[in-house]
Structure 1
Amino acid sequence: MTRSILRAAEWTLGVDIDEEAAQSMSAVCLTCGRQSAASAGDRLAVEVWALKHTGLHPGHRRYKATAETHWRVTPAEGNPYRESDDRHDRADE
C-alpha cells in the first residue's frame, strides 16, 4: 500500500446544522448579574426574558447577549476527502 501526502486541498467552513449542535443563546443583566437560561435555537425566549426582567426592574436596561454557534469543516469540490465525507467524524481520519 502506498501513502500520499496532500500538499493542498480546499475546505469549506460553515455553520454546523446538526441538530445536536444547535445555536444557543443567553443574556446577562449588566445591572444585577442575573442570567437567562440558555436557549437552544430560540432567540425569542431570551429576548422575552430580558423584557420581563426590565419590566420587573425598570432600571435594569442593559444586557450582554451571548450566542454560541458550532462550525463544521467539510471538503470542498475537488478535495479527495469529499468522497469519504460520510466518515468525517471518525477520530482515526
Structure 2
Amino acid sequence: MKSLIKAAEWTLSTDTAQGAPQEPMYESECTTCAESSGATEGSRVHPEIWALKHTGSHPTHRQFRAVITSFWRVSPAEGNPLYDQEAGR
C-alpha cells in the first residue's frame, strides 16, 4: 500500500549518496550544429577548450550552450513522519 503525505516538511540538498557524482557535470553544446563536448565531472576546462577548438574548426560556429548539471536529493525533514523511519529510529 502506498501512502500520500500531503502536509509534510521536506529538505532539498546536494545528493551525497554512494554512486552520485560529487561534483557538478560540465558540458558545451554548439547551438549551430548541436555537437557536444561530452560531460565531464568537476571541471569546466575540457568543455571550454572543446568550444574554442570547435570554433577553430568551424569558424561560423560561435555560440554555445553551457550545460551544468548538479544532483539533488529530497529527504524528510524533522517533523515529517518518514524522518524517524529513514533515520532508523
State TM-score, norm by structure 2. 0.65
Shift of 1:73: 0.7
The amino acid that maps onto 1:31 is: T
Query: 1:84, 1:62 → 2: CA distance?
Result: 49
Shift of 1:10: 0.7
Query: 1:14, 1:61 → 2: CA distance?
Result: 35
Structure 2 unaligned residues grouped into runs of 5+: none
Aligned residues with identical type, % of pairs: 45
How many aligned positions are there?
83
Give the structure 1 partner of residue 54 of structure 2: 53
Q: Write the mapping of 1:6-21 to structure 2, written as runs, cut at 5 A.
A: 8-18=7-17, 20-21=19-20
Q: Quick check: which has more Rg, 1 or 2?
A: 1
Q: Write the mapping of 1:14-93 to structure 2, written as runs, cut at 5 A.
A: 14-18=13-17, 20-22=19-21, 23-86=24-87
Shift of 1:35: 1.3
Distance 1:18 1:48, change over 3 A: farther
| Higher helix proportion | 1
Provide the alpha-carbon RMSD of the alignment.
2.7
The amino acid that maps onto 1:38 is: A
State TM-score, norm by structure 1. 0.63
Distance 1:86 1:48, change over 3 A: farther
